[in-house]
Structure 1
Amino acid sequence: MPDAIVEAALAARSRAYAPYSRFLVGAALRTEEGAIHAGCNVENAAYPEGTCAEAGAIAAMVLAGGRRIAEIVVAGGGEMPCTPCGGCRQKIREFAGPGMPVRMVDPSGQLLLTTTLEALLPHSFGPDNLAGSGA
């Protein structure tokens, strides 16, 4: 049976806008309620102004009213896993706990790596660190 979240990440990857690097990335996440949201990387001629696929998927989730990520899949190019960048790891942490599964797949949907957010972002700082701080 096809994996809907992997299919969503691959479909998002196919729509990525990467005219400069030519490195297409798609990401899809599933909320705790089962909804799937996807995003793709969008480059900009002013390189620092681009956005990552994971950030796009998170924005789509928040726009739809979601607040908790149950799992995320990142579809990159090539034979090496496309792990989320440091900034995206922190963005994911805002909406997921350390044990949340993170899968990386290749352009055909072949699984390259399964890990957890904790392994990608050890000793993370998240919303629970601010509990009781008055923030």
Structure 2
Amino acid sequence: MEIQKYHNLIEEAKKVRKNSYAPYSKFKVGAALLCEDGDIYVGCNVENASFGLTCCAERNAIFNAVATGKNRFTAIAVVVNSPQPCTPCGACRQVLNEFCHDMDIIMVNIRGKMKVEVTPLSELLPRSFDAKSL
């Protein structure tokens, strides 16, 4: 997988990460979602004192895109300030799967030497639940 083709997506995720509201965990996450038509939608994590009301960056990016009428995606970049890249949580994997089981997940850390990992969602959420399962 050629990482360079996701350069702009990664940069957008890095930028939006700065807007994250993470006063409790201090773990800021930025996500940039690539639509089939080339448009990019971003999201950052937004925490709440009632932790169950917190929303992840990945879901915020998806909801942002859906709110404008988009629902066909090819990739999402997730940027964190940690020693290693992070995968999306289970809830985010399921929401991403609702729209595209084959999308690329680009996971990036920015602490220390930047590392980029790309994996298809289908590997992170094997045997997923979707409408076909009903």
**TM-score (norm: length of structure 2):** 0.89
Per-residue deviation, residues 37-80 of structure 1 (Å, max 9, x unmatched)? 00000001111111000010001110111011110110012112
Counterpart secondary structure, 2:65: helix
Residues 63-72 or 121-130, more deviating:
121-130
Are the equivalent residues in 1 in contact too, given 2:84–2:115 (CA < 8 A)? no
Once the two structures are TM-superposed, the CA of residue 111 in structure 1 deviates from its matched residue by 3.5
Match of 1:112 among 112, 116, 129: 116
1:35 corresponds in structure 2 to: 39
1:133 is aligned to: none
Asked if the contact 1:103–1:111 (Cα under 8 Å) also holds between the matched residues in 2, the reply is no
Q: Distance in 1 between matches of 2:75 and 2:129?
A: 19
Aligned to 2:106: 103
Question: Share of identical aligned residues, percent?
Answer: 43
**Larger deviation, residues 43-52 vs 107-116:** 107-116
Question: Is 2:72 the counterpart of 1:68?
Answer: yes
Q: Does 1:10 align with 2:14?
A: yes
**Partner residue of 1:24?**
28
Separation in structure 1 between the aligned mates of residue 72 and residue 110 of structure 2, nearest angstrom: 26
Q: TM-score, normalised by structure 1?
A: 0.88
**Match of residue 93 from structure 2:** 89
Q: Where do 5+ consecutive residues of structure 2 fail to align?
A: none
Aligned equivalent of 2:59, options 55, 62, 71? 55
Asked if structure 2 preserves the Cα contact closer than 8 Å seen for 1:101 and 1:116, the reply is yes
> C-alpha separation between the residues in 1 aligned to 2:131 and 2:96?
11
For residue 49 of structure 2, what is the aligned residue in structure 1?
45
- In the alignment, residue 105 of structure 2 is paired with which amino acid? V
